[in-house]
Amino acid sequence: MTDFPFPIVGFDLDGTLLDTSGDLTAAVNHAFASAGRPTLTVEQVKPMIGGGARHMLAQGMAATGGCSEEELAVLHRRLLDYYEAHLTVHTQPYPHAIDALDALAARGVRLAVVTNKLEHLARQVLGQLDLTGRFVTIIGGDTMGPGNGKPSRLPIDAMVERCGGGRAAFVGDSIYDIQAAHAAGLPAVACRFGFLMQPVEELGAEAIIDGFDELILTLERL
């Protein structure tokens, strides 16, 4: 099929394509335990996800008493080391996500991932779940250089360029996703099931989906 309105569709990773909350919470709690801090529940950690591991950890430390930059740096390293060794213990695609990717591919859509997770970790997670080959490009929070993760438009612009150019849409669950898409001039679809930091209606997306079984029709209506 060639009449689909978006020849390019990009996706955030954590809280959008994949439910990574269990493994991220375990990594946060590993770092916390090493510092004698109380652990957090998955539901407490979910709203902290989206801005990258350091940002997530900093929010968790602030919620349990604060910390110095030096301590944050040490615990960030511990978190990353633990996470890299336990990437997909609990992580799985959201329901109907694979079906949606298949349906888009069948329509000739070029798919991409743009995440604030470090690129090498994003590639490892997708590789362990046998999903890497579905995407033309995988762009991480560090791919465009320091300070150029979402909400910067740079990774979204790079996504469109690497996918060969054309009309694109972006699917995500955080304000960073929506702001980055809009900064690059793309319409955004927000996921109500994601790791929301605020009510999904406040994100300003052009559309909201309750599940991936709604994605194709939603994109066709944008």
Which of 210, 11, 211 minimizes the C-alpha distance to 110? 11
- Per the structure block, which two tokens stand in for 210? 């309750």
Q: Is 12 a catalytic residue?
A: yes
Active-site residue, selected from the candidate residues 3, 12, 23, 99: 12
Q: Mean pLDDT by 10-residue block, N- to C-terminus, for the chain (222 residues)? A: 87 97 94 90 90 85 83 92 96 98 97 96 97 98 95 98 98 97 98 94 97 98 95
Which residues touch 177 (CB under 8 Å, ≥6 apart)?
Answer: 12, 16, 50, 150, 170, 171, 188, 190
pLDDT confidence of residue 2: 57
pLDDT confidence of residue 1: 45
pLDDT confidence of residue 175: 95
pLDDT confidence of residue 178: 97
At how many degrees (to 10) do helices 175-183 and 154-162 cross?
Answer: 70
pLDDT confidence of residue 168: 98
pLDDT confidence of residue 68: 85
Work out whether strand 188-191 and strand 168-172 pair parallel, antiparallel, or are unpaired: parallel
